[in-house]
Amino acid sequence: MSELNQEVVDLVWGRPSSGVVSASIFRRWTQGFVFCENEQTALEQFEGGPCAVLAPVQAFLFKNILFNRESSNWRQMTEEEQKTVLCSTLSEILESACSSPSTGFCLVTWAKGQSPHSSTQSQSQTQEVPAPESSQPPQEQQPTALAAEDLGFERFHSVVHKRTVMSVSGLREEVLSLCHTWRGCCGVLLFLYSVILTKGIENIRNEIQDTTEPLIDPVHGHGSQSLVNLLVTGHAVSNVWDGDRECSGMKLHGIHKQASVGFLTLMESLRYCKVGAFLKSPKFPIWILGSETHLSVFFTKASSIQSSISSNTYFRHTDTVCKSSAGLKNQNMECA
């Protein structure tokens, strides 16, 4: 599979009993990072599954928009500002995932001339059909949300390659230069693979509680808690409590320091788990909220709300809000 070995594929997708990854599940993950037309700071999700990547990226986007950007109106951004803040956010997550700066950062991109846009363009030229005029250069044309052609699982893995960047400054430059890639077809998957290879397969396996559990569920297509934690904290641990715990001689890894953005789950209100303070009280008042079937992002500019997060009243309130918002397209909500 090109330069991506079977270990990476097994870690992400597992080994389904049928022997092949479901085509419908794979296709649901082939979207890029696309901003909503009506909400200029919100990323759009088109099918179920990739919220495990989109929600953490959205949470860090809000952090950078609300607290690192000088603007009185956080809802409005130019296309150039969208490009800058998206790439800055992706770089930040990659930096967090890097276990050792000496090993560098990995970026997974299309092999030269192998992107879906290139394939479509080549086919058009072969058929001598004139390409439509555009005011933007080819690499900056409006990104497509889903694959322009049905790549398929095997085809996708045969036309991507990895490159290594050895410095943080080099990483930020490369990520920015590849903005059209992240926003185009399969941008979410390309970024996910970049994070995994930057972190290191062995490092991820050492942190995951159950190494037989893939990062993407082969039946339903949703991302695991380990995947969410990897993007939020840089560590692919399977649990949400503070620190490590022992159970029957087995060490169960949790969160070891205060996260920049937080994570809450409705499962805690049902007493199935307990989220630790490192995720419940993050550095910035932004939280990913896990419901039974989806991940949403809650945020506020008022830091005072963080002191009330641990109360049961808050969880009953978020339960009501989350259920009432089930039909929202972008799944991002601002707390008053």
Catalytic site positions = 51, 294
Q: Residue 255, class by beta-carbon neighbours within 10 Å (0-12 exposed, 13-18 middle, 19+ buried)?
A: buried
Return d(Cα 168, Cα 279) in angstroms, integer: 26
Q: What gap in Å lies between CA 157 and CA 151, rounded to an integer?
A: 9
Question: Are 66 and 299 a contacting pair, CB within 8 Å?
Answer: yes
Q: Which two tokens stand for residue 162?
A: 């990895």
**DSSP secondary structure string, 104-137?**
-EEEEEEPTT-SHHHHHHHHHHHTTPPPPP-SS-
Residue type, 266: L
Kindly give the pairing relationship between strand 332-334 and strand 295-299. Answer: parallel
Helices (H), the chain: 6-13, 23-28, 51-67, 79-97, 116-126, 153-158, 168-177, 179-183, 187-199, 201-207, 225-233, 266-269, 277-280, 312-324
Q: With DSSP H G I counted as helix, E B as strand and the rest as coil, what are the percentages for the chain, rounded to 5?
A: 45, 10, 45
| Distance in angstroms (rounded) separating the CA atoms of residues 272 and 89 | 32
C-alpha to C-alpha distances, 64 to 32, 59, 199, 240, nearest whole angstrom:
20, 9, 23, 24
- Residue 103: CA count within 13 A, CB half-sphere: 13
Q: How far apart are CA 53 and CA 231, in angstroms?
A: 7
Give the closest residue to 210 by CA, choosing from 244, 241, 242, 250: 250
- Note whether 49 and 28 are within 8 A (CB): yes
With residue 246 as reference, give the H or E element that holds it: strand 245-247
